[in-house]
Structure 1
Amino acid sequence: MNIAKLTSDDLPLFLGITSDLFPDVDVPAIDYDEIIGYITKEVIKLKLQPIPLILTKVIELYETMNSRHSTMIVGESNTAKTVTWRVLQQTMTSMKNDKKPGYAAVHVYPINPKALSLAELYGEYNLATGEWHDGVISSIMRKTCSGKDTVCILYISRPNSIYKVLGPGLFVAVNWTKSTDSRYFLTDDSPDTKWILFDGPVDVDWIENMNSVMDDNKVLTLINNDRITMPKQVLLLFEVQDLAAASPASVSRAGMVYNDYKDLGWRPYLQSWLQGFQGKPKFVEEMRKLFNAHVDATLEFKRRKCEDLVPVPELNAVQSLCKLLEVLATPENGVQFTGDVDMFANICRIWFFFWYNLKKISHMSGLIWSICASVNEDSRYKMDNFIREIEGTFPIRDTVYEYFVDSRIRSFVSWEERLPPVWKIPPKTPFYKIVVPTVDTVRYEYIVSSLLNNRFPVLILGPVGTGKTSMLQTVLNSLDKEKYSVLTLNMSAQTTSKNVQ
C-alpha cells in the first residue's frame, strides 16, 4: 500500500529504512503469475509494451482497489494513468469470461468533473417550477448503486397516475402521457463491478461533496435530501495530475497509486510506434538508431542549457516528432528503400534532423511540436550550435531553422525557395484579408496543413497580432471541402459546458 504511492526517488529510501528497522523479516511474495499473464495479453492487445512499470502499476492498482473503495491514480500527463486502469479493467473482465473464481467483469462510467458546474454534477431545483433535476454524478450513482436490495422511493407528482413496477428501480406510469411529469430511472443491478471514474483535476469545489462517499459511510447526500448509498460492487476511481487543490480530508480517504515518468521514459512509445512499420524493416532500423543516438542527448541539453516558454513533457515532444516523421517521411518524399543502404540511411537522417530542428523554432508562431518547441529566443541559438555539432549537413548561411528538405535533391533548401517569385494582391480582396506570404507563413502553413490532412490535432498559440487566425484560415480554406467541414467555436474563460453543447 505504501510502495504504490512513492516516487521512484523515494522508493529506495523507504525500502532501506524498512530493511534497517526489520532486518530479519522476509516479506512473503504473493503469487500473481496468473493475473500477470492476463495483464501481458491485454497490454499486447492494446499494441503497447508490457514493460515492468505497467505490470507493477496494474498490480498495485488491483491491490489498492481491493482494500479501498476510493482510489486515486496520480501522475503527470503521459505517465500511463489511463493505460493502468484500462488494462486492469480488461484483465478482470477477461478472467471473468474465462470463469476464473474471484473476478468480476468491470464497467466504467467516466466523468470530467472540471468541465461541469456543481449544479450539473450533483443536481439542482428548477427555480421556476420547483422540480428537481439530477446531475451527472447523481444520475450515475442512481444507476449503479440501486440494486435488488435497495429501497427505491418514487416521487409522484401526479397522484392520479397509475404506476407499475417493471423491475428493480424501474417504474413507469401506465397512463403516462407527454404532459405527465412523473419521473422514473433505470438501474444496473448486475453483480458486475462498476467504476465511477473522475478524469480531471481535483477541485475543492466538487471534491469536498464526495467526502461522505469516500469515507466509511459511503453515502452521497444531495440538496433535495436524497441519500444514495454505494454498495460494495461500486468503486470510485480518480485520475488526476496532482493533489495541490485537495484537502487532507479528501486525500486521507483514498488509496493512492503514483505513476512516475522516470520509470516510464519515451522508449516504450517509440517501440509501439515502430511496430506500425513492420513491413519496413530498414526504416525501423534507421529510426531506432537516430532516436537512440540523439534524443536523450538533446533532452538533456535542453534541461541544462535552455529555458522554456511553454513547458512540454518529454514524451509529448517525442510523440510529436514521431507524428511528423509519419506524415512526411514517406515514399512520396523519397523515404523508400531501393537497395542502396547508404542512400536510404542518408535520406532518413535528413528528414529526422529536419523535423528534429524545425520544432525548435516553431514557438515563434506558437506551434507546439517536438523536442525544443518551447525554448525562448536566446535558447534557439544555443540549440542551433548544438545541432550543428552533431549534424554537419546544414548549409552555413543562416541558422538550421531556415531550411526544409527538398525530396528531389535530397538535401536542405532554404524556405525562401518556397516563396512565390512574383506576388500580387488578388483583385477585390478586402484590406483585412490581405496576407503577404513570408518565410514564416509558408513554413507554418506547410506544417499545419500536413498534419491536418493526416488527421493529427494541431495547437496554435501566441500573443495577439502574430497571425494565428490568418494562417489557420488560409490552411482551412485549402482543405478538401468534400472531406472536411469547419466548425468555429469562440471560447474564453467564461465559456461553459452548455455553450459548447
Structure 2
Amino acid sequence: GSFKRAEPDLAEEALLMRALRDFNIPKIVREDEVVFFGLLGDLFPFCQNKPRIIPERNMDKQLLGFCEEVCQKNGNDPDEIFLLKCVQFEELLAIRHCVFLMGPPAAGKTQCWKTLSQARAIRGDITKVTDVNPKSIKTEELYGFISMATREWKDGLLSSIMRNVGAIPDENPKWIMLDGDLDANWIESMNSVMDDNRMLTLASNE
C-alpha cells in the first residue's frame, strides 16, 4: 500500500514485482539468482516482453549517502556493492526481527552492520548495539546453567544481555549482534528467538 501511495503512476504488477525482487535478492546466493529470476519471469511475463517498464530498484538515497559518509570517515572504501548491502540490511530489518549476515571471512559482514549503525545515528535513529562472539565462550556460559553444587540457576552472557536490553525503557532499536562462526551448538537454542515466538527458552524453564 505504501509503495502504491508513493508511486501512484506505476502499475501494481510492476510494484509487486519490484517488491518481490528487491526483498528476496539479498537472501539468495548468487548461484540461485538464475532460478529466482526465472520464476519471477513466469509470474510477471511483462518483465521479459517489455523490459523498459521494469521498475528500477528503489533505495533510500539519504541512508545511502550517510553510509558513504561513514565509510569515508572510517577509512573504508565506499564500494557500490558494499553500500547496497548496507541498505539491503536496513530493508530486511524493517520486516524481520532476526537477520543473518552470511559470507566468507573478510567479506565485510562486521563492517556492514557497524556502518549501518553509524549511518542510522547520523540520521537520528539511535541504535543500541551489543556485540558478542558466541564462539569465544562455552555454550553454557552463553545461555546459562544450573550449578551442580548449589542447584541454583546462573545466567549466561547472552541471557543476561537480553534481560538488560529488555529492561531499557526507550523504544529505540536494540541490536544484539552474535558476530562469529555459525555453529549448531549455540544456534539451536536460538530457534525460538528467530521464529514468531521471539522468546529465548532457557534450561531454567524461563
TM-score by length of 2: 0.78
Match of 1:122? 143
Amino acid at match of 2:85: K
Q: Tell me if the contact between 2:133 and 2:178 (Cα under 8 Å) persists in the aligned partners.
A: yes
Match of 1:202? 182
Distance (Å, rounded) in 2 between the aligned partners of 1:41 and 1:79: 20
Match 1:6 to one of 24, 28, 31 = 28
Amino acid at match of 1:201: D
Amino acid at match of 1:6: I
Q: Tell me if the contact between 2:133 and 2:180 (Cα under 8 Å) persists in the aligned partners.
A: yes
Match of 2:9? none
Match 2:117 to one of 85, 89, 92 = 89
Q: Tell me if the contact between 2:129 and 2:176 (Cα under 8 Å) persists in the aligned partners.
A: yes
Distance (Å, rounded) in 1 between the aligned partners of 2:90 and 2:141: 31
Cα drift, residue 133 of structure 1: 1.3
Distance (Å, rounded) in 1 between the aligned partners of 2:172 and 2:194: 20
Give the secondary structure class of the aligned counterpart of 1:124: strand
Bigger relative contact order (CA 8 A; separation at least 6):
2
Distance (Å, rounded) in 2 between the aligned partners of 1:212 and 1:20: 35
Distance (Å, rounded) in 1 between the aligned partners of 2:32 and 2:194: 27
Change (3 A) 1:143 1:13: same
Cα drift, residue 13 of structure 1: 5.6
Cα drift, residue 5 of structure 1: 2.5
Cα drift, residue 9 of structure 1: 4.7
Which has the larger helix fraction? Answer: 2
Q: How many residues were matched structurally?
A: 178
Give the secondary structure class of the aligned counterpart of 2:101: strand
Match 1:141 to one of 162, 170, 181 = 162
Query: Pairwise CA RMSD of aligned residues?
Result: 1.9
Distance (Å, rounded) in 1 between the aligned partners of 2:123 and 2:139: 38
Match 1:24 to one of 19, 43, 46 = 46
Change (3 A) 1:53 1:215: same
Q: Which runs of 5+ in 2 are unaligned?
A: 1-22, 48-53
User: How many percent of aligned residue pairs carry the same amino acid?
Assistant: 36
Distance (Å, rounded) in 2 between the aligned partners of 1:2 and 1:45: 31
Amino acid at match of 1:106: T
Q: Tell me if the contact between 2:144 and 2:154 (Cα under 8 Å) persists in the aligned partners.
A: yes
Cα drift, residue 20 of structure 1: 5.4
Cα drift, residue 105 of structure 1: 1.0
Match of 1:59? 87
Change (3 A) 1:143 1:29: same
1:75 matches 2:107? no
Change (3 A) 1:58 1:196: same
1:131 matches 2:111? no
Give the secondary structure class of the aligned counterpart of 1:4: helix
Q: Give the 4+ runs in structure 1 shifted more than 6 A.
A: none
1:221 matches 2:170? no
Distance (Å, rounded) in 2 between the aligned partners of 1:7 and 1:69: 21
Amino acid at match of 1:215: D
Larger radius of gyration: 1
Q: Which runs of 5+ in 1 are unaligned?
A: 97-103, 147-187, 227-501
1:415-430 mapped onto 2 (5 Å cutoff): none
12-21 vs 216-225, which moves further: 12-21
Match of 2:130? 109
Give the secondary structure class of the aligned counterpart of 2:46: coil
1:465-476 mapped onto 2 (5 Å cutoff): none
Distance (Å, rounded) in 2 between the aligned partners of 1:11 and 1:127: 51
Q: Tell me if the contact between 2:71 and 2:77 (Cα under 8 Å) persists in the aligned partners.
A: yes
Distance (Å, rounded) in 1 between the aligned partners of 2:35 and 2:194: 30
